Amino acid sequence: MLDIKNLHAAVEGNAILKGINLTVKPGEVHAIMGPNGSGKSSLASVLAGRESYEVTEGSVDFLGKDLLDMSPEVRAREGLFLAFQYPVEIPGVSNINFLKTAVNEIRAYHGQPPMQAKAFLDMLKSKQKLMEFDANLMNRSLNEGFSGGEKKRNDIFQMAMLEPKLAIMDETDSGLDIDALRIVSAGVNKLRSKDNAFIMITHYQRLLEYIVPDFVHVLYNGRIVKSGTKELALELEEKGYDWLKEDIRLEEPVQ
């Protein structure tokens, strides 16, 4: 589904990603962990197509197409979803109007007619129920005045509505209390299937207790320095990241 090869990226001339290799197959859940500033959120931004990031080397194949060649909206229409670390507030754009526009633009891209109002509302209701999402938030402006937890839940709700093939969750667990974390995780688990895949970017192992990953990768200094299964996450929780840094220093050639 996703094939990242030797991906290098920079912001304002500073190299942030320095050769990422990662393959994600349908049905898989990958966790990407790492200390602050290691490039985790940058990877999410590069995959979603944020313009301030410049890809300097490497390739990304998404469902057989060149992802890097697509505009952000085309990536979304192809089925790539980013749950934002900091979802923006957009006063004056109602949540519901925004979702309807997004759903129909994605449908149009796939040659489908726009959804009828009734069908859209039915879908809205069923997904609200599935995601335990407060219907009152639907009529408000997009994320405006939402609490941190409400914004994250709104993002997951949007994920349910847009039914992406690959969802990248950028520190979705940060700023969530334990109840919100449980609801968000339950939502993600409900959406998991053999046809879609998830990349969970997180700083803590906590989220991975709720959403069990198939693979865990450690990102450090713009590179994936270690990969393993869910046990790696436990090891990281226990020992921190410092032991890894030590290892890496030893591995780096003396200059």
- Two tokens, residue 14: 């500073």
Task: Among 19, 61, 96, 98, indicate the residue that binds other proteins (CB under 8 A).
Answer: 98
227 contacts: CB under 8 Å, gap ≥ 6: 215, 216, 217, 218
* Closest to 11 measured CA to CA, from 48, 51, 41, 44: 51
Task: Among 15, 63, 68, 102, indicate the residue that binds other proteins (CB under 8 A).
Answer: 102
Nearer Cβ to other proteins (88/178): 88
- Two tokens, residue 41: 């959120």
- Distance separating alpha carbons of residues 246 and 241, to the nearest angstrom: 9
Nearer Cβ to other proteins (31/76): 76
Q: Which long-range contacts (CB under 8 A, 24 or more apart) does 246-250 make?
A: 248/220, 248/221
Nearer Cβ to other proteins (72/228): 72
Tell me: does residue 233 bind other proteins (CB under 8 A).
no
| Cα–Cα distances in angstroms (integers) from residue 104 to residues 47, 89, 119, 166, in the given order | 23, 22, 12, 19
Tell me: does residue 145 bind other proteins (CB under 8 A).
no
Nearer Cβ to other proteins (20/167): 167
Task: Among 6, 23, 65, 90, indicate the residue that binds other proteins (CB under 8 A).
Answer: 90
Nearer Cβ to other proteins (141/174): 141
56 contacts: CB under 8 Å, gap ≥ 6: 8, 9, 10, 15
Tell me: does residue 51 bind other proteins (CB under 8 A).
yes
Tell me: does residue 22 bind other proteins (CB under 8 A).
no
- Two tokens, residue 212: 């069990």
The region of 21-29, 68-76, 200-208, 231-239 touching other proteins under the rule CB under 8 A is 68-76
Tell me: does residue 120 bind other proteins (CB under 8 A).
no
- Distance separating alpha carbons of residues 225 and 185, to the nearest angstrom: 27
How big is the site for other proteins, counted in residues (CB under 8 A)? Answer: 28
122 contacts: CB under 8 Å, gap ≥ 6: none
Query: Could you tell me the smallest distance in angstroms from the CB atom of residue 82 to other proteins?
Result: 5
The region of 24-32, 56-64, 65-73, 205-213 touching other proteins under the rule CB under 8 A is 65-73
Binding site for other proteins (CB under 8 A): 48-51, 71-73, 75-77, 81-82, 84, 87-88, 90-93, 98, 101-102, 105-106, 109, 141, 158, 162
